[in-house]
């Protein structure tokens, strides 16, 4: 099972990390790191999970691919090969074509 999932929904995309939704968190996005089994150390005032639980709607494929890349590289510390760590759900056709279009 791949740790990142991009799911095509009616008006865009949702992203999940280890089945935990990426949500609005203040002015940015976040996820419940504890539920996702990620480290919560290194937070200066202690870790607090986002209050929001509904996945954020990402309107474009390019924004979904970009956010998945950031998660892969900086949250999961898995490098730049985001397609290797991401499952695409509800996206028909050749997934490599989707990645090419989303990232160019």
- Residue 52, classed as helix, strand or coil, is coil
Q: What percent of the chain has pLDDT over 90?
A: 75
- With tokens 């609005």, the residue in question is 24
Rounded (10°) angle between helices 95-103 and 61-70: 90
Contact 33, 48 (CB under 8 A): no
User: Half-sphere exposure of residue 52, counting CA atoms within 13 Å on the CB side?
Assistant: 15
- With tokens 């999961």, the residue in question is 76
Which pLDDT tens digit goes with each residue over 1-10? 899 999 999 9
Q: In the 8-state DSSP scheme, what is residue 58?
A: B
Q: How many CB atoms lie within 10 A of CB 72?
A: 23
Which pLDDT tens digit goes with each residue over 29-77? 999 999 999 999 888 888 899 999 999 999 999 999 999 999 999 999 9
């Amino acid at each position: 099972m791949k740790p990142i999932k991009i799911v095509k929904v009616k008006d865009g995309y949702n992203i999940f990390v280890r089945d935990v939704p990426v949500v609005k968190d203040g002015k940015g996005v976040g996820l419940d790191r504890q539920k996702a089994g990620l480290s919560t150390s290194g937070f200066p005032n202690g870790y607090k999970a986002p209050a929001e639980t509904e996945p954020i709607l990402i309107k474009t494929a390019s924004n979904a691919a970009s956010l998945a890349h950031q998660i892969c590289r900086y949250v999961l510390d898995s490098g730049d090969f985001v397609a290797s760590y991401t499952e695409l759900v509800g996206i028909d056709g050749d997934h490599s074509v989707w990645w090419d279009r989303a990232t160019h």
